[in-house]
Structure 1
Amino acid sequence: MSEIPTESRYAALSKAVLLAAGLVVLLWLCYQVSGVLLLFLFTIIFALILNAPTTWLADRKVPRPLAALLVFGAVLGLLGLLGWLAVPRITEQLSELASNLPTYAQNLSKQLSALFENYPQLQKHLRFDEESLTKELPSLPVLLQRVGQYSLSALGLVFLLIVLLSTVLYMVIEPRPLLKLYLSLFPASRREPAARALGKASKMVIGWMWSNVVVGSLEAALTAIFLNIMDIPGVWVWAALAFFSELVPKIGPYLMAAPPVLVALAIDPTTALWVALFYLVMNELMGDLVMPRVRSSTMNLHPVSSLFLMLIMGSAFGLPGALIATPLTAFIKAFYEEFYLARHPFDEQLDKQVELIMYRRVDTKNSTLEQ
């Protein structure tokens, strides 16, 4: 074999080093602007959701800019109406819960101490009195400082919200340049599957949104009715938490159930038991029966894949990453099907092989499956 010239080896090595350095710089840059990338993902998701009704109006001879403005205005109007109806009551009940927090904490301490009366060492850590609670609560200067910090954070949030809404509106009014840019990233032979993948992802994202609205509204209504019957303080607050709980699949409903159960426990252990049982039954029925049926026609995502990506995104980006995990799973699934599975012939024995593996009928000695 002829030896590779020194110049060629040097050129190949230099190219590899430059490629590695460029990759490191790209990853560093992505890490530095991760918040912007996350915001861009949110805008894409919202634009895909609003594009469906906008396209429906455009197909009926409504000019697309006017259709986008109508849809955008309808969404903002609906959100404003819901805020006008619910926010005052939620704010009032939040203030009431905050003012009664020391009382709830003392009652909860008494209830827990009674439950663990045979463990005196543990009881010491479960007792709260008014003096200790006063020490734990922030002083007025500290509270005002925190309010100032939250106000600055709120101003930043408002600014980001304006940028987000403006970007979404521009995307929905004229998406053609962005779609051309998206397709130009692929060679001509792969643009058709790229278009199909984006179409599938769009359908799944819309299904995700509608399933959250439908199931979240049902959970909020059931929560409000049951907790009102049980006379639990802060019904509107807990109903609002139940509405948004499905944004974090499987785990979210149980996290949202913890505060009302603790408030109920501060009132009466039997009441807390009924409230915990209600949340357990509701979450299982909604998560295992209702939600899969609502999403079956659009998403068809296994919970494990969503949970796994949610843990990754949550660890990397916190709560915003966890919220975007399910739509991101939809994108990954759509592109995986179009760019990997579609390149392989359909295996008629696949389902049969899965069943054999499940029931441990695999012949590991002969590397074959039992018939």
Structure 2
Amino acid sequence: MGQPHSDDEGTVAEAEAEAAEISTPEQPLGTVGKRLDRRSPFFVGMTAAAGVAVTYGLIQLLAGAAQILILVGLALFLAIGLEPAVSWLVTRRFPRWLAVVTVFVVAFAAIGGFFAAAIPVIVEQTTALVTKAPEYLREAQDHNTLLGRLNERFHLQQAIQSVAGSSGGLTSGVLGAGKAVFGVLTDALIVVVLTIYFVADLPRIRSTLYRLIPHSRRPRAILIGDNIFAKVGGYVLGNLAVSVIAGVLTLTWLLIFGVPYAALLAIAVAVLDLIPVVGSVIGGVLISLVALTVSLPVCLATIGFALVYRLAEDYLLVPKIIGTALKVPALVTVVAVLLGGALLGVIGALVAIPVAAAILLLAQEVLYPRLDKA
């Protein structure tokens, strides 16, 4: 191009002459030149800048999809927890699809039967609570009653009114509660659907994850990974069993002593007990406060019941049902639950213990042996 060339082009003209020499019929565009020096300041700077940009983009992507990723992680966690039941049926000559259908039919039947029996009682007790609310308000304003003296000392009524006022009034509070309930139901539906898909396809997911590991390390990775899966499964089923026991014992205790709203409180205790360490404490405080509306002796007895059950759960139920599978020290359990709750709220506290068990297993089987040989 631009023929003929003049001397004013300088080094460009020289490069043009050299280009004409290296062009051959076999390689009209010349041979491949030397690779760029990856140690040059320009190349290092561009690589670092590209790495920072990609890292920042990934962080923004994860932050934007955090809510969905949490739901996906929770669904996978539940799927691993249900896998022992599915595997048990498969070993009994059930096809995988039939085993998955059987497990979910039984689970939905149990949940449906529970709500069918509990909803009428919940509605009845909620109606009674709303009906007696004015009476409780009058007692709170009467300095001669126990509730009034507690209100005078701890300013309970002002605290409730400030919470109600900060929500923008009754209408906005109801709308906010409706949005919250709709959001919870939507998230629950997403988790259920994802859990079904994960359970149905878990063998393929498992094999895909193991194929990402080099062939030489794959056998040991399978042993460690399956051990972690077993720990998660044992924890999910065991935690659910302990929660059911807590709800049943609480319901029995409250019915014996005539504490109002026994079904509501028992369900609340069972749900709260799913949260390790702090859940049973919150449940005990809740039922003790409601028992105070009956009498002070009943309240003290309920506090004693909550303490005794907490000790029995920590030193009898959990070691027998969950402790055998996880083998996590008490200190690690408390720290893991606190960190999980601070990072991901209730879901973080729920999955913290099996995650801590997995980290401990990896440390014992991989990290410590290498450090001992270093």
The two structures share one fold, judged by TM-score above 0.5: yes
- Give the TM bin, normalised by the shorter chain: 0.7 to 0.9
- One-letter amino acid of the structure 2 residue matched with residue 166 of structure 1: V
How has the CA–CA distance of structure 1 residues 151 and 41 changed in structure 2, closer, same or farther, with 3 Å as cutoff?
same
Gaps of 5+ in 1: 116-121, 347-371
What is the 5 A alignment of 1:100-115? 100-104=132-136, 107=139, 110-111=145-146, 114=149
- One-letter amino acid of the structure 1 residue matched with residue 255 of structure 2: N
RMSD (CA atoms): 3.2
How has the CA–CA distance of structure 1 residues 148 and 344 changed in structure 2, closer, same or farther, with 3 Å as cutoff?
same
Match of 1:349 in 2: none
CA shift for structure 1 position 124:
6.5
Match of 2:363 in 1: 336
TM-score (structure 1 length as normaliser): 0.77
Q: In the alignment, does 2:111 pair up with 1:79?
A: yes
Q: 1:190 aligns with which of 217, 226, 231?
A: 217
Match of 1:27 in 2: 59
CA shift for structure 1 position 226:
1.8
Q: Following the alignment from structure 1 to structure 2, what is the Cα–Cα distance between the partners of residues 257 and 125? A: 20
Q: Following the alignment from structure 1 to structure 2, what is the Cα–Cα distance between the partners of residues 102 and 261? A: 21
- One-letter amino acid of the structure 1 residue matched with residue 344 of structure 2: F
Match of 2:237 in 1: 210
CA shift for structure 1 position 275:
1.3
Is the 1:47–1:172 Cα contact (8 Å) retained in structure 2?
Answer: yes
Match of 1:319 in 2: 346
Give per-residue Cα distances to partners, 1:65-91, cap 9 Å, x unaligned: 122112111111111111111232123
Is the 2:71–2:190 Cα contact (8 Å) retained in structure 1?
Answer: no
Match of 2:17 in 1: none
Deviates more, 1:304-313 or 1:328-337: 328-337
CA shift for structure 1 position 314:
1.9
Equivalenced residue count is 332
Identity rate, percent: 23
CA shift for structure 1 position 316:
2.5
- One-letter amino acid of the structure 2 residue matched with residue 62 of structure 1: F
CA shift for structure 1 position 252:
0.8
CA shift for structure 1 position 37:
1.5
How has the CA–CA distance of structure 1 residues 127 and 156 changed in structure 2, closer, same or farther, with 3 Å as cutoff?
closer
- One-letter amino acid of the structure 2 residue matched with residue 52 of structure 1: P
Q: Following the alignment from structure 1 to structure 2, what is the Cα–Cα distance between the partners of residues 78 and 253? A: 23
| Higher relative contact order, structure no. (Cα contacts within 8 Å, ≥ 6 residues apart) | 1
Gaps of 5+ in 2: 1-36
Is the 1:49–1:206 Cα contact (8 Å) retained in structure 2?
Answer: yes
Match of 1:250 in 2: 277
Q: 1:305 aligns with which of 302, 324, 332?
A: 332
What is the 5 A alignment of 1:1-371? 7-104=39-136, 107=139, 110-111=145-146, 114=149, 123=152, 126=155, 142-341=169-368, 343=370
How has the CA–CA distance of structure 1 residues 160 and 133 changed in structure 2, closer, same or farther, with 3 Å as cutoff?
closer
Secondary structure of 1:232 counterpart: coil
CA shift for structure 1 position 211:
2.2
- One-letter amino acid of the structure 2 residue matched with residue 90 of structure 1: I
How has the CA–CA distance of structure 1 residues 17 and 334 changed in structure 2, closer, same or farther, with 3 Å as cutoff?
farther
